[in-house]
Amino acid sequence: MAEKVIYAMYDDDDVLKDGAKLLVSKGVKVSDVFSPFPIHGIDPIIGVKNTRLGIMAFLYGITGTLLATIGMRYIMIVDWPMNIGGKPNETYLDNILAFIPVTFEFTVLCAAHGMAITYLLRNKTLPGMPAQNPDPRTTDDKFVIELKLSENTQFTEDELNSMLKQTGIIEIDQKEIN
């Protein structure tokens, strides 16, 4: 079902922030903000939920730790016991110091790659995916507030438009998205 969306464009992030504050205080639900860079302090204003990327980072990290431990134990101890500096090589624990740097590196590798890929997938911005932002100028020097009519049923379209116009916008646009 097609949905009506209003896009209001600003040329300053502070003006946008004040505008968003004003709108939210009147009970308008701002569904998203598009910006060329992260706007400090916008999240609590428009009520963006806390990211869960940190939890994923932890899970990816643990996966890396486990994989590294299992892999090194099999390669260096079980399959072909390696002589590490002439030290006893029967158990993994005897040589754990030698394995810690690799474990650490592999943990970081898994956490970082996992996070980056998750982030790109979640935002649907993997290389080659169609752009999600409503206007290419939001990747340059313009900022856009997105309002969905379906989320603001208590206001009419005209009311929303007139409220937006009080917030120092430079352009206003309407689209139907699927």
Q: From the CB of residue 13, how many other CB atoms can be counted at a distance below 10 Å?
A: 18
52 is a contact residue toward other proteins (CB under 8 A) = no
Strands of 2-78 (E only): list them. 3-10, 30-34
Q: Where does this chain touch other proteins (CB under 8 A) — which range of 4-12, 69-77, 94-102, 122-130?
A: 94-102
Residue-by-residue DSSP string for 121-158: HHTT-STTPPP-SS-GGGGTT-EEEEEEGGG-TTS-HH
| Residue 87 interacting with other proteins (CB under 8 A) | yes
* Identified binder of other proteins from the candidate list 67, 98, 102, 172, rule CB under 8 A: 98
For residue 38, state whether it binds other proteins (rule: CB under 8 A).
no
**Residue 148, both tokens:** 């969905």
**Diameter of the chain measured on Cα atoms:** 81
- Provide, rounded to whole angstroms, the least separation between the CB of residue 85 and other proteins: 6
Q: Name the pairing type of β-strands 3-10 and 171-177.
A: antiparallel
Our finding on whether 40 is near other proteins (CB under 8 A) is yes
Rounded to whole angstroms, the Cα distance separating 30 from 76 reads 56
Q: Of 62, 97, 116, 121, which one interacts with other proteins (CB under 8 A)?
A: 97
Nearer to other proteins, 96 or 120 (CB): 96
Among 27, 101, 127, 136, binds other proteins (CB under 8 A): 101
- The residues binding other proteins (CB under 8 A) are 40-41, 84-87, 97-98, 100-101
